[in-house]
Structure 1
Amino acid sequence: MKFWLGVVIVIVGLVGVAGAVVGLIPADPYAYLAMGGGTLAGVILMIQNIDPRKRWRIRAFSILRLAFLLAIYGGSLGVSVIYYAVRELNKELPPDLGALLEWQPNRKSVVLSSDGEEIGNFSIENRRIIPLGRMPQHLIAAFLSAEDHRFYEHTGFDLVGIGRAAWLNFRADGDIKQGASTITQQIIKQTLLVGEEVIGAVQGVLPPDEIDKLRKAKKYRRKMKELILAVRLERELSKTEILEIYLNHIYLGHGAYGVAAAARTYFGKEVEDVTIGEAAMLAGLVRNPTKYAPHNNIHLAREYRDKTLQQMVDHKYISVAEFETSVAEPIVLVDQSDLNHLASPYFVEHIRKTATTRYGDRNLFRGGLKFYSTLDGRMQEAAEGALKRGLESLDRRLGFRGPVGSVKQAQRGAWTGGPAHPLTGQKQDDVTATSDQVLPDQTYGAMVVELPRTGVGITLDLGPMRLPLIADDAREVRSWRDDTTQKAVELGHLLPVRLSPDGKAAVLAQRPILQGAMVVMEIPSGRVVASVGGYDWVSSQFDRVTQAKRQVGSSIKPFVYAAAIEAGRTPVDHMHDGPYSVTTATGVWTPANFDDKYLGNVTLMTALAYSLNTISVQLAVQVGLDRIIEILRGFGITSDIPRHISISLGTPDLTPLEVATGYAGIAAGGRRVTPRFFDLVSDNTGKVVEDLRNQPPGPQVIPAEAAYVMTSLMKGAIERGTARYAGKLGRPTAGKTGTSANYRDVWFTGYTTDLLATVWVGRDDSTPIADSKRITGGGIAVPIWLEFMQKAHPQTPVSDFPIPDNISFARVEPWSGEPGSVYGDAIWMAFVRGTFPRNFLAAQPVRSFDDLVPAPVPYQPATRCASLSCL
């Protein structure tokens, strides 16, 4: 039917053109022929025989009749041409608009903390889908005013708008000053016709002028398709539905798709809270999101904001008073350095890697998955702060490293009274960023402006203010000399500083060159509640919790002792601490203690508390390497473990997460603990994809009673040994320090009945932290662990570790291991039932759990560390 209708239209058009030509023939054809009609001479003769006074009337009438007929019949031909053009284009268009009617944009996957806060997301596009009802009316009005104020009047394309745009662009000598695409057309262009103007393979093959012609042809062809589909879309969807798709789809710069994402990106607020001025600024971004983005060009952004506000007044959306208020409104933006900020970035990145393996990139970045993570926001913040302050403190102990730059003489005047220069870049000497104010916790480049020859004072210029450098730091700065030139700090040099707590002075704040990691998990669930993979995500995205394999040093000894306890050894068994040699395949190996001193005859409880190397090696020889490796594997440690006796002193390279997982197995009664970073995963409909809650206990790796004895022994490391500082927590705590060879790595893992935390500190290049025996796990890692625990440990009632059935207790003198009295320095020591030495059975009755009243051990300053190993 459509085909024959087209044929009729074409015939009518052709007849119309023929008729227009015939329209020149007079009404009396015989007179026409009699005068020689049909020839040029005849036409001339006809005209000459007409009364001259009537001649002009005939000519005028003929011209008008010709014009009328040409318009009528020519229009018919035009309609037929358009019909066939539309018919041909329709063959290239989708038969229905299902892809758009069922529009589902790429949905970002989100990561939620355990208290429901979004801490990260994964997406191809930064987009948040919200219903039109949540958008404020002035936001909708701003976009309608800027893009399509006749939206509710047209049916997909706007002829009035097209005419107006054509006239304005014509007056501008062909420059495109105004577009005419409606909101409906923009949706079509950005969804169904993406890539229609791409010319692809002909680039570099055709000459530039031919490419330009081809590009224009594609543009006009795409425009025709756009008009057709816009009309079809308007028939299928309501205006409200079209507007909702548009406002959730439009790209507004800085990776933000849709108004909800843009409101957060630029203003750090929910879309419901944007002001009229902010709404106008967002609407002004549509034409060129990069050029008019306020972070890129605040002046252009303000100009287009004001232009949109004026359009809102013109179209009666806002009053003149609202216009004036909005124009005067200051533009408050989110700090540009925070545009790509990720809360708990190392934690979120680990979830991304895990999720990519389990669900694939497409589901992760497009599917709108929701990860209910195990992260506790309060604990994460405490862990980040403790690690950062610990690294800064250690860095300061290692000394001032010198200025981060200098200001040339000619530029020093402009520095004074100018903006502050926050050191926010990846490089410590990057002072290109500026800020109008000096914030308490931010590090700034400060210029030395006063350096008296006498005294220790140094005055610094931060731009908006001048402050003295605190005395201790000033002395250190004055004593510094460049390693190469031996020059001292001079006027104009830039120092990294931040405000003192009272804001009246500056303190040095150089970025540490050391790195660290901290991971915290619940026992026995294995839920990772905090994870910090480095000092600063901006400067390094390498996650040291899960990726850095470092030598663990004495942190491995609890696993050696666990094998010995399992084999029947007891905490009070005596061994000789002295020079000890082992013959290996590579020769004779003679390990030494940390301080090259020996204690002679000692108990296992003393040997572990003071981390005596010779005892660990002897135990490894006795129980065998196979069982030690089997225990490590059983607890979930997968990194390479060389089958060499040196593993008893911590030569294996493990990640902090592996170390924490191994200790978690001991703390959980000898069962394997599988760490997890999320509890639940759901899809974009709320359907549960994976539920990791209520997992059954892991397999038993060592007997529960052996695990408890190990916990009891590691309590000794805190009560009497290398980790005494951790005793300030005031709760029953077990743990073990570690320091690798040549002071390259320091460790501490400690746990209570609620939490376990592992801390590692070292250099990424594995060079020594410092050539000093002051560099130990007890002196560096333990203070970081303690600060975290004091701030973040749950305020649960103080309780000791749960005791399994097959355990008995006896009072023991901690140093000698002999039976102790109820009074004095004797402590309760756990034994696997049936392993008491005979003298204990005679001297001290076994006490049951009900008779024991565990109490937290108060912190005691070191009394024997000066002459013992402090590893």
Structure 2
Amino acid sequence: MAQALRPQSSPASVRKRKRKRLRAVSVIRLLFLLIVYGASLGAASIYFAVKTINQELPQDLTALLDYQPNRKSVVLSSEGEEVGAFSIENRRIVTLERMPPHLPAAFLSAEDRRFFQHKGFDVFGIGRAAWKNFKSDGSIKQGGSTITQQIIKQTLLVGEEATGAMDMTPLQYSALAKAQKYRRKMKELILAVRLERELTKAEILSIYLNHIYLGHGAYGVGAAARTYFGKDIEDVTIAEAAMLAGLVASPTKYAPHRNMPLARDRQKYVLGHMREDKYISDADYQAALAETIALVDESDLNHLASPYFVEYIRKQATKRYGNRSLFKGGLKFYSTLDARMQQAAESALRRGLESLDRRLGFRGPIGSVPQAQRGAWTGGDAHPLTGASDDTSALADQLLPDQTYGAMVVELPRGGAVTVDLGPRRLPLTDNDAKEVREWRHETTKAPLKLGDLVPVRLTADSKAATLAQRPVLQGAIVVIEPMTGRVVAMVGGYDWTASQFDRVTQARRQVGSSIKPFIYAAAIEAGRTPIERMHDGPYSVTTATGVWTPANYDNKYMGSVTLMTALAYSLNTISLQLAVEVGLDRLIEIMRGFGIESQIPRHISISLGTPDFTPLEIAAGYAGIAAGGRRVTPRFYDLVTDTSGKIIDDLRDAPLGPQVISPEVAYVATSMMKGVVTRGTAKYAQQLGRPVGGKTGTSANYRDVWFTGFTADLLATVWVGRDDSTPIGDKITGGGIAVPIWMDFMQKAHPRTKVRDFPVPPNVSFARVEPWSGDPASPYGDSVWMAFVRGTLPGKFFVGPPVRSFEDLVAPPALPATAKCASLSCL
């Protein structure tokens, strides 16, 4: 019944329903086909794009598989300490094994938390970054690049997005830049996948940590640890590692030197990720947040030990190895520098120049504090004077004993005292300094020192007073050589490298004055003269192309008939002139050239008085040749050069000896005569060294230059002092009075603690005891000395005399002690 009541479908409606089902199936089938074809087309397009882009990429990854970044070349002292470096990038290559585990962990947590899961690029990371950037205000807040992609970008794709803006509107340029960026991203992905197939994760991580730029000129974690914290990579703490890892996002923005609070915020972000990733515990996290970060003082970042020495090595190495090897090749120079001697040379030259400057007088205040600002000066910070100027704008919260400060004159009582204000303290000037500044008058206005004037001072040794410390207007140089090897163990090219990088040891050609005389006397000995031959010291004229030339001695006084040993000891000009005429200019110039002097030497008789201009290094090398037995000694600044693998490139330790210039016996006799300069001549102050010393002082015309070169059997040092503009130093300023004390100051502190010994005696040398003034044979008494002679030149008068019957005829017996007088019965 019910079935009978159900309405029956008509054939038309059935067909209609069938058509609807077919239409639905057709749409689904069409959509499916569109998806399949679309996917296929997309895949084909991607394949075509990848293939096209891949053709532009390197077919092998040698640049990364054999990772060789730019490495700095370093200069090591003879003790193995780094004293200088040459680089385009400050980089220290460190193996992954040397790094503490928390350091790579910090970078993984900060930059690529799924590093060990992905195969070069991280889909999840890209999605997460895209979502964060979408939720932001439109700017890019987070990147999705993996560590592998970052390596590719910084090595193989450097400069890939560079685009010229010629003939483009801003809109066109923006569109092109965006296209370039997407293209670079595609290359990055392709190369990242390829790199992951070629290298292990550890190798990729090692490259990344040694290559990444971390600000302040530091490339890689090794250089960054040294730059920011002054420590080796092994000593970096968890807190410091997190701070370094935080720099990757923006090395300038998060640099702790610039903005420590911002750097701390970024460090906290990295530490939080490290805790989430189970690299550190909660306790480690809290301890790292509480740890104080000690940064290296920024001024120390540009510190260069022994700057003149290191700069000279750079110049020589550039000529020998080229800029590329020097600045990128990671060469290692094992230098001849002795750090202890270098420090002694620097301090001796500085003290000597300051002492001479004091003798020349107080030059006046370096500035003045306005009346309205004097209250702020008192009780405030100290004002250290640094660099090339007397600028007092720098501030310091404490007073250090060796630092120079600007001090304001605050009291000028009638008693003659002077009180100065250094900021934290008020101190009196020492009595001598107070007297000197009170006597000073301005050159034009004749005005005296007044309240508020600024003077440069240092603390005295007990810190209870201040002493003047004005910057010297004079300059100086000192170079120290081992005479037998030519190894340069110390070199100072000026008073202050920061004020002047001009190297007066190797670049300044200055008139040598009497420093030239040992070469003249050596030539005379070679020609047959002996140390005791007598010549007349008096006016002596020479006819030259420009007229008659009659030079005088230093003080316009003459000594009459003198021995050659006395003439050299007292630096008599007329004797030097006569000897030069006798031996001839050609042989004299030949000897100096033979000893390595390359500066211009005019072929004029005036060279007998030291008119040529030589560098201190040339004088040192020439004297070293005499001290080394008459052979040429070439100064050398490094013994060994190796590459990054330790392979020896240059080995100068066994360099052949230089050619013989004068015979060993002639050189020894000349050395013996130069010992007389120290024992009885113009350099007597050098006797205080307590060792046999040979040397010669020098003073150029009008007191423009003063010299002293002195040497023992172990060490030779040349000192020069003068003004850069070649104006006179001052009246009666001589090498014996200025250069010798600087030499002594250095030698007393730096001379090797070797056994006291005389110069080695070569064959063909005879000795005789002589009276130096007359040149006659002498007994052991009085001022007689042992003098060396070239064998065969000893005068006949030394072979006559009373017969020798006992040793006491040669050496006087020691005096017996005086017998005490008996004063009581007990001594009878």
Q: Report if TM-score (shorter chain) is over 0.5.
A: yes
Matched, 1:567 2:527: yes
**Of 424, 430, 433, which residue of structure 1 is paired with 2:391?**
430
Structure 2 CA distance for partners of 1:436 and 1:249, relative to 1, 3 Å: farther
Please tell me the residue identity of whatever aligns with 1:429: D
Question: 1:127, 1:256 within 8 Å by CA — same for their partners in 2?
Answer: yes
Matched, 1:113 2:77: yes
Distance 1:327 1:723 in 2: 64
Distance 1:456 1:67 in 2: 107
In structure 2, the partner of 1:361 is 323
In structure 2, the partner of 1:621 is 581
CA offset digits 1:424-468 (Å, max 9, x no partner): 33x3223444444433323333344x2233344444444444444
Q: In the TM superposition, what is the alpha-carbon distance from 1:190 to its structure 2 partner?
A: 0.6
In structure 1, the partner of 2:824 is none
**Of 395, 400, 403, which residue of structure 2 is paired with 1:442?**
403
* RMSD, aligned CA: 2.8
Question: 1:561, 1:619 within 8 Å by CA — same for their partners in 2?
Answer: yes
Instruction: Name which of structure 1's ranges 265-274 and 736-745 shifts more when overlaid on structure 2.
Output: 265-274
Q: In the TM superposition, what is the alpha-carbon distance from 1:214 to its structure 2 partner?
A: 1.8
**Of 606, 610, 617, which residue of structure 2 is paired with 1:650?**
610
Structure 2 CA distance for partners of 1:698 and 1:704, relative to 1, 3 Å: same
In structure 2, the partner of 1:660 is 620
Structure 2 CA distance for partners of 1:590 and 1:59, relative to 1, 3 Å: farther
Matched, 1:804 2:762: yes
Instruction: Name which of structure 1's ranges 676-685 and 412-421 shifts more when overlaid on structure 2.
Output: 412-421
Distance 1:486 1:284 in 2: 62
Matched, 1:600 2:560: yes
Structure 2 CA distance for partners of 1:412 and 1:101, relative to 1, 3 Å: farther
Question: How do 1:259-408 residues align onto structure 2 when only pairs under 5 Å count?
Answer: 259-408=221-370
Question: 1:552, 1:738 within 8 Å by CA — same for their partners in 2?
Answer: yes
CA offset digits 1:169-189 (Å, max 9, x no partner): 222211222222211111111
Matched, 1:734 2:734: no
Question: 1:594, 1:613 within 8 Å by CA — same for their partners in 2?
Answer: yes
Question: 2:779, 2:810 within 8 Å by CA — same for their partners in 1?
Answer: no
Structure 2 CA distance for partners of 1:301 and 1:424, relative to 1, 3 Å: farther
Please tell me the residue identity of whatever aligns with 2:456: P
- TM-score (norm: length of structure 1): 0.87
In structure 2, the partner of 1:21 is none
Distance 1:298 1:416 in 2: 31
Question: 2:780, 2:810 within 8 Å by CA — same for their partners in 1?
Answer: no
Distance 2:448 2:66 in 1: 69
**Of 723, 729, 742, which residue of structure 2 is paired with 1:784?**
742
Q: In the TM superposition, what is the alpha-carbon distance from 1:68 to its structure 2 partner?
A: 6.9
In structure 1, the partner of 2:47 is 83
Structure 2 CA distance for partners of 1:762 and 1:458, relative to 1, 3 Å: same
Q: SS at the partner of 1:185?
A: helix
Q: In the TM superposition, what is the alpha-carbon distance from 1:67 to its structure 2 partner?
A: 7.1
In structure 1, the partner of 2:471 is 511
Q: In the TM superposition, what is the alpha-carbon distance from 1:410 to its structure 2 partner?
A: 4.7
**Of 479, 486, 504, which residue of structure 2 is paired with 1:526?**
486
Please tell me the residue identity of whatever aligns with 1:514: L
In structure 1, the partner of 2:786 is 828
Q: In the TM superposition, what is the alpha-carbon distance from 1:142 to its structure 2 partner?
A: 2.0
Question: 2:412, 2:419 within 8 Å by CA — same for their partners in 1?
Answer: no
Structure 2 CA distance for partners of 1:266 and 1:510, relative to 1, 3 Å: farther
Q: SS at the partner of 1:545?
A: coil
Question: How do 1:696-845 residues align onto structure 2 when only pairs under 5 Å count?
Answer: 696-770=656-730, 772-773=731-732, 775-843=733-801
Question: 1:109, 1:368 within 8 Å by CA — same for their partners in 2?
Answer: yes
Please tell me the residue identity of whatever aligns with 1:445: G
Structure 2 CA distance for partners of 1:778 and 1:136, relative to 1, 3 Å: same
Distance 1:745 1:360 in 2: 36
In structure 1, the partner of 2:543 is 583
Please tell me the residue identity of whatever aligns with 1:827: V
In structure 2, the partner of 1:99 is 63
Structure 2 CA distance for partners of 1:648 and 1:141, relative to 1, 3 Å: same
- TM-score (norm: length of structure 2): 0.91
Aligned residues: 798
Could you tell me which runs of 5 or more consecutive residues in structure 2 were left unpaired when the two chains were aligned. Answer: 1-10, 812-828
Structure 2 CA distance for partners of 1:447 and 1:156, relative to 1, 3 Å: farther
Q: SS at the partner of 2:800?
A: helix
Distance 1:494 1:150 in 2: 63
Distance 1:434 1:315 in 2: 45
Distance 1:75 1:417 in 2: 80
CA offset digits 1:109-145 (Å, max 9, x no partner): 2222222222222222111111011111222222222
Matched, 1:163 2:152: no
CA offset digits 1:767-814 (Å, max 9, x no partner): 1112x11x1111111111111111111111111111122111111122
Q: In the TM superposition, what is the alpha-carbon distance from 1:541 to its structure 2 partner?
A: 1.5
Q: In the TM superposition, what is the alpha-carbon distance from 1:405 to its structure 2 partner?
A: 3.4
Matched, 1:149 2:113: yes
* Percent of residue pairs identical: 73
Distance 1:793 1:373 in 2: 19
Q: SS at the partner of 1:560?
A: helix
CA offset digits 1:393-428 (Å, max 9, x no partner): 112222223333344455445545554433233x32
Q: In the TM superposition, what is the alpha-carbon distance from 1:557 to its structure 2 partner?
A: 0.5
Distance 1:90 1:615 in 2: 85
CA offset digits 1:130-165 (Å, max 9, x no partner): 101111122222222222222222222222222222
Distance 2:360 2:712 in 1: 32
Distance 2:788 2:203 in 1: 71
Question: How do 1:179-218 residues align onto structure 2 when only pairs under 5 Å count?
Answer: 179-199=143-163, 202-218=164-180
Structure 2 CA distance for partners of 1:518 and 1:78, relative to 1, 3 Å: same
CA offset digits 1:88-123 (Å, max 9, x no partner): 111111112122111111122222222222222222
Q: SS at the partner of 1:817?
A: coil
Question: 1:810, 1:844 within 8 Å by CA — same for their partners in 2?
Answer: no
CA offset digits 1:601-641 (Å, max 9, x no partner): 11111111111111111111111111110110111111100
Please tell me the residue identity of whatever aligns with 1:193: L
Q: SS at the partner of 1:114?
A: coil
Q: SS at the partner of 1:708?
A: helix
Instruction: Name which of structure 1's ranges 332-341 and 484-493 shifts more when overlaid on structure 2.
Output: 484-493
Structure 2 CA distance for partners of 1:648 and 1:467, relative to 1, 3 Å: same
Could you tell me which runs of 5 or more consecutive residues in structure 1 were left unpaired when the two chains were aligned. Answer: 1-29, 36-48, 854-871
CA offset digits 1:245-293 (Å, max 9, x no partner): 1111111122211111111112211111122222222222222223333
Distance 2:756 2:621 in 1: 24
Distance 1:153 1:547 in 2: 61
Instruction: Name which of structure 1's ranges 222-231 and 408-417 shifts more when overlaid on structure 2.
Output: 408-417
Please tell me the residue identity of whatever aligns with 2:365: P
